[in-house]
Amino acid sequence: MKAEELKLLELLDFQPEEGLIRFKDRRMLIFDADALGLLRKELIECLGPEGARGVLTRFGYANGYRDALTSKELFDWENDREWWFAGPAMHTMEGKLKANPQKVIFDKERGEFRVEAFWERSYEAEQHLLHIGKSEIPVCWTLVGYASGHATACFGEEVYFVEKRCVGMGDDRCEIIAQTAKAWGEEIKPHLRYFQSVKMQEELSHLTQELEKKKRELAKQRRELLRLRREAYLDIPPDLVAKSPGMRKLLDTAARLAGVDTTVLITGESGTGKERVARFIHERSPRSKGSFVALNCGALPEQLLDSELFGHRKGSFTGATEDRKGLFEAARGGTLFLDEVGETSPATQVKLLRALQEREIRPLGQDTTVKVNVRVIAASNQDLSALVKEKRFRTDLYYRLKVVVLEVPPLRDRREDILPLARLFVEKFCADLKREFCTLDSESLDLLLAYPWPGNVRELENAIERAVVLTDDCRMTSVDLPPEVRGEALSSDLLSVGKVLPLREMERRYILSVLERNQGNRAQTARDLQIGYNTLWRKLGKPEGQEDSKNG
């Protein structure tokens, strides 16, 4: 028998009174395509598109496989090829689609099965469009399942149909290609999961994994969005270069701290720009309308510092010829920046603690206290915790100050910022000197990048100022940079000495020059030289026991 000889109506046995329709001895049903469409919608809503696709594909597959076995039993096919052809014929007769095979290779001996076909009027694509809408992927899942199951039974080897175009995606017809699993190779892998029976539990765990993946993607996108929003909000002023991640992070924290009226301690090596960071916080705080007052506590002796901070009454000490308000009062409503807070005397530290805790001060020579309203930002290039251990800094004041600590990274740790800062300073000094805008040649840029900048941003600023002043034309070269940046400092020192020095003396001079660059800060100098504090003293030629109490 040939497939084209199949006549469905002849094969069907209608027994309307009995409530039966039989296809030989198999019971058949007639039902509304819409009902299947609604079931499909329900499945998608319950199981998700992936789950529903699996259920419908396997439903079709079982149906097709069974139909193939039944038709083999019922009819005496001329050959297996005709047996297979009954599949598309049945599909068409049952009203599921109109199958139009274009190319059919059915060669069992050579193990070759290949079908290219058009499917028109797919009921499944129609229903999908009706109940779910246009899809991104082909949707004739049951039909593909049916065709695959049927062909696998007839060919005796795994055969898979794959839809390449589909009416459900908006194409004018569905187009399918079928071949054996072997012929498909890797390409069939993503389709296989829909054919393989999975337990609900596995399906759920797969879906859970998918969900977790999506959640992670979402969280990543949200973080990125937050970062962009924060950067837009950050709006870094042009003189505060922050191309480096370290500096960006610092300013990000600083911007968030601005809104909270808490004490902030800014640490970092000297010359890193702690005051600029303090000003950045002030500019963004609700106190920005008030003044920003900065004082270097290390620059004044105790009595002058106290008078400067807290004010004095006329005659309270020699030279106090009139009443004077201190900075705590001058900065009312604003921000008071106390640099080198580690340099303050124990007596001043008590007064500072009182000012921070009680929000009141007592000017020198006055019996009554004055209320103050000021935000204090303190800074230190010394390790305050070390000073606390050495009992040179009060523990209670230390903890009061370090509520929030911002550490400004040294310039060597924010290399990305070196050239932008250098260009900024070039611009600034050219403007100051009313010169045309100067440029640095590439060798200078390399030197700037290679130098470790122990004096940080301040040292860079000085180096650029020097170069702008020294250059004849507007093209600065390495010659205009300071000798140490050119890597010549030590050798030129040696040459200028003129005679051979004992190594110990050379070392002492070197230590002194580093000490000078650190503005006399011994702790920093010891850190820069990577030696202990006591070793520093010993090397400078002072007996250890003689460390005086004024160590700073």
Residues that bind Zn ion (CB under 5 A): 122, 125, 140, 166, 174
Sheet holding 12-15, edge to edge: 12-15, 20-23, 26-27
SS3 (DSSP) at 15: strand
Nearest CB to Zn ion, comparing residues 140 and 266: 140
Q: For residue 530, what are its two tokens? A: 């990577």
Give dist(CA 36, CA 414) in Å, integer: 65
Nearest CB to Zn ion, comparing residues 166 and 338: 166
**Min CB(103)–Zn ion separation in Å:** 18
Using the structure block, give the residue that is written with the tokens 């002043």.
469
> What DSSP designation does 409 have?
P
Using the structure block, give the residue that is written with the tokens 């009454």.
313
Q: For residue 431, what are its two tokens? A: 């403007």
- Give the DSSP H/E element, type plus range, for residue 147: helix 141-155
The runs of H, that is alpha helices, within 259-408 are 274-284, 302-310, 327-330, 346-358, 384-389, 395-401
DSSP for 444-512 reads HHHHHHHS--TTHHHHHHHHHHHHHHH-SSSEE-GGGS-TTTTT-HHHHHHHHH-SPPPHHHHHHHHHH
Nearest CB to Zn ion, comparing residues 85 and 161: 161
Nearest CB to Zn ion, comparing residues 129 and 294: 129
157: Cβ contacts below 8 Å, ≥ 6 apart: 111, 113, 180, 181, 182
Nearest CB to Zn ion, comparing residues 89 and 166: 166
**Min CB(98)–Zn ion separation in Å:** 12
Q: Largest alpha-carbon pair distance within the chain? A: 128
Give dist(CA 488, CA 374) in Å, integer: 48
**Min CB(60)–Zn ion separation in Å:** 12
**Min CB(213)–Zn ion separation in Å:** 28
**Min CB(134)–Zn ion separation in Å:** 12
Nearest CB to Zn ion, comparing residues 47 and 166: 166
**Min CB(86)–Zn ion separation in Å:** 21
**Min CB(64)–Zn ion separation in Å:** 16
Nearest CB to Zn ion, comparing residues 174 and 281: 174
User: What count of other Cβ atoms lies within 10 Å of the Cβ of residue 11?
Assistant: 16
Nearest CB to Zn ion, comparing residues 129 and 353: 129
**Min CB(138)–Zn ion separation in Å:** 5
Give dist(CA 154, CA 149) in Å, integer: 9
- Give the DSSP H/E element, type plus range, for residue 49: helix 33-74
Using the structure block, give the residue that is written with the tokens 């829909």.
194
Rg of the Cα atoms in the chain: 43
Between the CA of residue 100 and those of 89, 104, 117, 439, what are the distances in Å?
10, 11, 5, 75
**Min CB(180)–Zn ion separation in Å:** 22
**Min CB(128)–Zn ion separation in Å:** 8
Give dist(CA 384, CA 342) in Å, integer: 6
- The number of helix segments (H) and strand segments (E) in the chain equals 22, 18
Give dist(CA 283, CA 305) in Å, integer: 26
Nearest CB to Zn ion, comparing residues 140 and 378: 140
Nearest CB to Zn ion, comparing residues 167 and 241: 167
**Min CB(175)–Zn ion separation in Å:** 8
CB 330 within 8 A of CB 337: no
**Min CB(171)–Zn ion separation in Å:** 8
Closest of 270, 343, 241 to residue 302, by C-alpha? 343
CB 162 within 8 A of CB 177: yes
Nearest CB to Zn ion, comparing residues 43 and 176: 176
Nearest CB to Zn ion, comparing residues 166 and 356: 166
